[in-house]
Amino acid sequence: MADMAAIRRTLTAQSAALSSLHRSRAVVPFEISMELTQMRFARQLIYHGFVIFYPQVLQTIP
């Protein structure tokens, strides 16, 4: 089973990176916007104790 703390750290870091793109008013592709929404949803589920794993969400942002 995946380490939940590591998943939380990954989601938090990725969400922060994507959020900074949004704040900078950069042109963000629709797919990235959807991924940010999905990560926020995933993080909420993890914080509420649900065990979930989205491989595409957990990939590091280049």
**pLDDT tens-digit readout, 8-36:** 787 777 777 777 766 666 565 666 667 77
Residue 34 lies in a domain: yes
Query: How many CB atoms are located within 10 Å of the residue 28 CB?
Result: 14
Rounded Cα distance between 39 and 6, Å, is 14
Residue 45 lies in a domain: yes
Q: Would you say 21 and 32 are in contact if contact means Cβ atoms under 8 Å apart? A: yes
The number of folded domains in the chain is: 1
Residue 38 lies in a domain: yes
Identify the domain containing residue 22 by its residue range.
4-52
pLDDT recorded at residue 5 = 79
- Averaged pLDDT, 35-57: 62
What amino acid is encoded at 43 in this protein? R
